[in-house]
Chains A and B, each alone.
Chain A
Amino acid sequence: MDTIRTEYLEERFKELQSAQTGSALQNWRSEGFKNFSKLGLPTLKNEEWKYTGISRLFTKDYTIPSKKDNVIDRETVDKAAIPGASGMEHLVFVNGKFNKDLSSFQSNDGFEICSLEEAFNGKYHEDAEAYFNKSSLFIKDGIHALNSSFMNESVFIKIRKNYHATKPFYFDHIFDTTSNHLLASPRILVVIEENANVQMIGSYYTHGSMDSFSNEVMEIVVKENARLEYYKIQNDTPNGSHTGTTHIRQVGKSYVHTVNISLNGGMIRNNTDIIMEEQANEAHMYGLYFLKGNTHVDNHTLVDNTKPHCFSNELYKGIIDEHATGVFSGKIYVRPDAQKINAYQSNKNILLSDTGTINTKPQLEIYADDVKCSHGCTVGRLDDEALYYLRARGINKDLAKSMLLKAFAEEIVMQIKIEPLKEYVEVQISDRLQLAD
């Protein structure tokens, strides 16, 4: 058994700090590292990490490059990107750092992209002060603190008032592990102003045979009458592990739609938090984890209703094959006086192999009385009767199974409202099920 090592991180932290003297992020990083030293890595004893032994990723030494590196060429970027990327606002992150040279944009007004340091020092000072690192108030663990300790070349994005983006924003994360194990800490802050409408996509790609561990924190602020769609696609290699926090604050009456698709990877943890800070917010959260091999996916969601009249609907579905593990932990939180809340949560799982594991924990925590909240959750196998129906019509067993699984997944896939992305996910699923399109 390899031992867990984190001591060397202090040295890396000092290296990074001294390479970036004068940066506006220095204090934030110091605070992050202080918290990390205090909290350490979450263990299975930590209720929020009960089913995900994240510390076993730390049995190896990671490199944390502090300087800008241009090791990735255009060809790799093209290989990593999802289909249709050329028509999007394509933001490339290499080893967790925003790389402007590799990025390409379709339009030049309606939004502003700059580094977080620039935001703190310049005209977005107020936004940065008001919205940065608020997710740490909700997620108080060593992993989040670790991101704050090593965030570097982080990005601030402002979507201007009334801007209706016609092209999705694509956050394309590439990790170069050709020579070293890599720890990347992408950090993104997005502020969506009033009446704006935007779609976003995130994807992760490990280039190389060594291991990558990307520890992302993305904070999104959605203001009055704005609309956000966020799609997170995980189809990385088995040596690509990931923890990602997507912390969405609905500070004005707004609409949020998220879809999280996990197909391949190492150990993956997704925190999706939606904080409803104003009345009459609406959020829809969908997730699909279709896993095989040794992939471990842990989806952790929170809907925090702080004001009355909010609506949320959540549906996560899992198909677990081979030695994979699927974890779902959802929480609906209704604060005192947040009356007239409608909140629904559902988690459905199919376990295909006798070596896979499903752990699920749908939770309700409710402190107001005039609410309608429900959750449901199932773990099971394919319906024998449905299989029989198909087989009675001359369809062989494997095909019948594939058809049913495809239909099971489709409920989530159809929530993807970007056509090329939807097609891409559908092809991936069909390939997995050996179905012709």
Chain B
Amino acid sequence: MADEMQLLEERVNREYEYGFSTDIETDTAPKGLNEDIIRLISRKKHEPEWLLEWRLKAFRHWEKMTMPKWANLQYPEINFQDIIYYAAPKTKKAKPGKLDEVDPELLKTLDKLGISLNEQKRLTGVAVDVVMDSVSVATTFQEQLAEKGIIFCAISEAVQKHPDLLRRYLGTVVPMTDNFFAALNSAVFTDGSFCYIPKGVRCPMELSTYFRINKENSGQFERTLIIAEDGAYVSYLEGCTAPRRDENQLHAAIVEIVAMGHAEVKYSTVQNWYPGDDAGKGGIYNFVTKRGICKGNNSKISWTQVETGSAITWKYPSVILKGDNSIGEFYSVALTTKFQQADTGTKMHHIGKNTRSRIVSKGISAGKSQNSYRGLVKVAKTAENARNFSQCDSLLLGDKCGAHTFPYIESKNNTAVVEHEATTSKIGEDQLFYCEQRGLDAEKAVALIVTGFAKEVMNNLPMEFAVEAQKLLAVSLEGSVG
């Protein structure tokens, strides 16, 4: 308990600590988006013809689409011609096991971010794929994983080495025409992680991707594909940061997960993009499409997210429960402060028999922020005995912020049971009084109560992340009380 409080204490009164930028030479494409840029990206990555065609098809579709307006968000029109779609640090990617080949400047950056590749290698046993701007710069533990038949590499590497697998699954969960940002990503995605767990293999360590936007004026469009074969298990972590800049930068990613029979995938995110300054200037626009499919019977996909960063978050990790007895879970803490806006939630699409889903969403809004939960639970006619439970709680800190809940429930099966409940309130005065009476000052008391409020979600995070996430919550809350 004391440690926890000390941790919080340490972090209070700190600015966004990942706001530095690295002076590293980058190879960039000119600003703007057209077919030539896409050809350029494709050429730089030595992609096969089919992938280029696929990108161009997505681009042509994207051109016909308009920006979605339904979210409870307000932001100026994004000029898609004013973004750099490809920015690669000029450094050779280290071969597996030879980290010394990595540019020292880059290693320093990673150290600063708390992801020391060397140290990690020896101590923590988490395999990391680091994506900086448009390319993957390092992947660790590849050899050890390969022994078990696990493929964990950058998606651009997978294009070269595992084209069949990629071609079979790419775009099957999130079709390129799915939505505006998915189409954009499909056209210009530059890197990301690829992960394949073969039949019956339990991945021995946490796999992790770390995203970093460094170059100014650039956007990051990465794509992650995770495939878990029959009976496989993997726990996957994702983290992200960006430098402080005055302009808004765009991040439009796609994550696709395929879980075959009896497979289990656990995907955890701690999202900490630069949220903008106190006046609401700058920050990342985070428009992400994340979707998993429980393809086989008895499979399970679980999303856990802690959202504290980004000027705007537009993100709905979803699960298609196709296999019988499959399970989908969504645990989320979304914290917004300053002028942040978040419209986030999930979709649970029940198709198979006896499918179950659980949604726990905790929204905390402070400052002048707006925080919305938007979720869909859809029960198809075929989903006999489907079961869903959703709980969305919102906590308001301060009278200038907003908390909103937009759940959608669509049921076509008369044996299904769907429940939803939501509450919105501020911190109880009796709770505060109780804490203060025992000698905690207001700020500490609030941090304590918020930690408790988010506990149910935090408990679902892997250890390494849980500590990080708690700290994050405390930092972001700083100054929002009183």
Q: Residue of B at shortest CB range from A369?
A: B396
Given contacts A47-B70, A379-B417, contact A358 B411 (CB under 8 A): yes
What's the Cα separation between A371 and B422 when bound, in Å? 13
What's the Cα separation between A360 and B425 when bound, in Å? 23
Residues 386-413 (chain B) with a chain A CB within 8 angstroms: 394, 396-413
- A321 to chain B minimum Cβ distance, whole angstroms, is 9
Whether the pair A336, B415 counts as a contact (CB closer than 8 A) is no
Whether the pair A361, B408 counts as a contact (CB closer than 8 A) is yes
The answer to whether A363 has its CB under 8 Å from any CB of chain B is: yes
Whether the pair B410, A366 counts as a contact (CB closer than 8 A) is no
What's the Cα separation between A423 and B315 when bound, in Å? 50
Given contacts A337-B399, A367-B402, contact A375 B70 (CB under 8 A): no
The answer to whether A106 has its CB under 8 Å from any CB of chain B is: no
What's the Cα separation between A374 and B420 when bound, in Å? 11
Total interface residues in chain A, CB < 8 Å: 36
Whether the pair B406, A369 counts as a contact (CB closer than 8 A) is no
Whether the pair B405, A379 counts as a contact (CB closer than 8 A) is no
Chain A, interface SS category? strand
With a cutoff of 8 Å between Cβ atoms, the chain A residues found around residue B421 in the complex are 374-377
Total interface residues in chain B, CB < 8 Å: 36
The answer to whether B419 has its CB under 8 Å from any CB of chain A is: yes
| CB 8 Å contact bits of B339-363 with A (1 = contact, 0 = none) | 0000000000000000000000000
- B382 to chain A minimum Cβ distance, whole angstroms, is 10
Whether the pair A360, B398 counts as a contact (CB closer than 8 A) is no
Whether the pair A379, B399 counts as a contact (CB closer than 8 A) is no
The answer to whether B423 has its CB under 8 Å from any CB of chain A is: yes
Residues 407-449 (chain B) with a chain A CB within 8 angstroms: 407-426
With a cutoff of 8 Å between Cβ atoms, the chain A residues found around residue B408 in the complex are 359-361
Residues 373-390 (chain A) with a chain B CB within 8 angstroms: 373-381
With a cutoff of 8 Å between Cβ atoms, the chain A residues found around residue B423 in the complex are 372-374
Whether the pair B396, A378 counts as a contact (CB closer than 8 A) is no
With a cutoff of 8 Å between Cβ atoms, the chain A residues found around residue B202 in the complex are none
With a cutoff of 8 Å between Cβ atoms, the chain A residues found around residue B415 in the complex are 381
Contact of A351 among B399, B406, B413 (CB under 8 A): B413
With a cutoff of 8 Å between Cβ atoms, the chain B residues found around residue A129 in the complex are none
Whether the pair B420, A353 counts as a contact (CB closer than 8 A) is no
With a cutoff of 8 Å between Cβ atoms, the chain A residues found around residue B426 in the complex are 369-371
Whether the pair A366, B422 counts as a contact (CB closer than 8 A) is no
With a cutoff of 8 Å between Cβ atoms, the chain A residues found around residue B424 in the complex are 364, 366, 371-374
Contact of B406 among A358, A361, A372, A379 (CB under 8 A): A361
Whether the pair B418, A378 counts as a contact (CB closer than 8 A) is yes
With a cutoff of 8 Å between Cβ atoms, the chain A residues found around residue B412 in the complex are 354, 356-358
What's the Cα separation between A30 and B315 when bound, in Å? 43
With a cutoff of 8 Å between Cβ atoms, the chain B residues found around residue A358 in the complex are 409-412
Q: Residue of A at shortest CB range from B382?
A: A354
The answer to whether A365 has its CB under 8 Å from any CB of chain B is: yes
Contact of B407 among A352, A357, A377 (CB under 8 A): A377
Residues 190-228 (chain B) with a chain A CB within 8 angstroms: none
The answer to whether A339 has its CB under 8 Å from any CB of chain B is: yes
Q: Residue of B at shortest CB range from A50?
A: B408
The answer to whether B381 has its CB under 8 Å from any CB of chain A is: yes
Whether the pair B404, A354 counts as a contact (CB closer than 8 A) is no
Residues 327-373 (chain A) with a chain B CB within 8 angstroms: 336-337, 339, 349, 351-354, 356-373
Whether the pair A366, B400 counts as a contact (CB closer than 8 A) is no
- B236 to chain A minimum Cβ distance, whole angstroms, is 32
In the complex, number of A-B residue pairs with CB atoms less than 8 Å apart: 120
What's the Cα separation between A344 and B424 when bound, in Å? 10
Tell which of B70, B399, B417, B424 has the most Cβ of chain A within 10 Å.
Answer: B424
What's the Cα separation between A366 and B371 when bound, in Å? 10
- B72 to chain A minimum Cβ distance, whole angstroms, is 8
What's the Cα separation between A204 and B400 when bound, in Å? 45
With a cutoff of 8 Å between Cβ atoms, the chain B residues found around residue A366 in the complex are 394, 396, 402-404, 424
What's the Cα separation between A353 and B419 when bound, in Å? 19
Q: Residue of A at shortest CB range from B401?
A: A369
Whether the pair B403, A364 counts as a contact (CB closer than 8 A) is yes
Q: Residue of A at shortest CB range from B371?
A: A366
Whether the pair B399, A369 counts as a contact (CB closer than 8 A) is yes
With a cutoff of 8 Å between Cβ atoms, the chain A residues found around residue B407 in the complex are 361-363, 377
Tell which of B409, B414, B415 has the most Cβ of chain A within 10 Å.
Answer: B414
With a cutoff of 8 Å between Cβ atoms, the chain B residues found around residue A339 in the complex are 399
Whether the pair A364, B422 counts as a contact (CB closer than 8 A) is yes
Tell which of A352, A364, A378, A381 has the most Cβ of chain B within 10 Å.
Answer: A364
Whether the pair A364, B405 counts as a contact (CB closer than 8 A) is yes
Q: Residue of A at shortest CB range from B389?
A: A378
Whether the pair B406, A354 counts as a contact (CB closer than 8 A) is no
What's the Cα separation between A378 and B420 when bound, in Å? 6
| CB 8 Å contact bits of A131-150 with B (1 = contact, 0 = none) | 00000000000000000000
Q: Residue of A at shortest CB range from B410?
A: A359
- A267 to chain B minimum Cβ distance, whole angstroms, is 18
Whether the pair A354, B414 counts as a contact (CB closer than 8 A) is yes
Given contacts A356-B414, A376-B422, contact A369 B404 (CB under 8 A): no
With a cutoff of 8 Å between Cβ atoms, the chain B residues found around residue A351 in the complex are 411, 413-414, 416
- A355 to chain B minimum Cβ distance, whole angstroms, is 8
Whether the pair A377, B409 counts as a contact (CB closer than 8 A) is yes
Whether the pair B409, A360 counts as a contact (CB closer than 8 A) is yes
With a cutoff of 8 Å between Cβ atoms, the chain A residues found around residue B399 in the complex are 336-337, 339, 368-370
Given contacts A360-B409, A362-B407, A379-B411, contact A371 B425 (CB under 8 A): yes
Q: Residue of B at shortest CB range from A327?
A: B410
- A314 to chain B minimum Cβ distance, whole angstroms, is 14
What's the Cα separation between A375 and B375 when bound, in Å? 14
Given contacts A361-B407, A374-B421, contact A354 B394 (CB under 8 A): no
- A301 to chain B minimum Cβ distance, whole angstroms, is 15
With a cutoff of 8 Å between Cβ atoms, the chain B residues found around residue A369 in the complex are 396-399, 401, 426
Tell which of A349, A370, A372, A380 has the most Cβ of chain B within 10 Å.
Answer: A380
With a cutoff of 8 Å between Cβ atoms, the chain A residues found around residue B398 in the complex are 369
- A88 to chain B minimum Cβ distance, whole angstroms, is 38
Whether the pair B405, A380 counts as a contact (CB closer than 8 A) is no
What's the Cα separation between A84 and B96 when bound, in Å? 86
User: In the complex, given contacts A359-B411, A363-B406, A372-B423, what are 9 additional A-B residue pairs having Cβ atoms less than 8 angstroms apart?
Assistant: A349-B411, A358-B410, A364-B403, A369-B426, A374-B422, A376-B422, A377-B409, A380-B419, A381-B416
Closest 10 CB pairs of A and B: A369-B396, A380-B417, A379-B418, A351-B414, A376-B421, A374-B423, A367-B402, A364-B405, A379-B411, A373-B424
The 12 listed contacts between A and B (C-beta, < 8 Å) are A354-B413, A358-B409, A359-B409, A361-B407, A362-B407, A363-B406, A364-B403, A370-B399, A374-B423, A377-B420, A379-B379, A380-B419
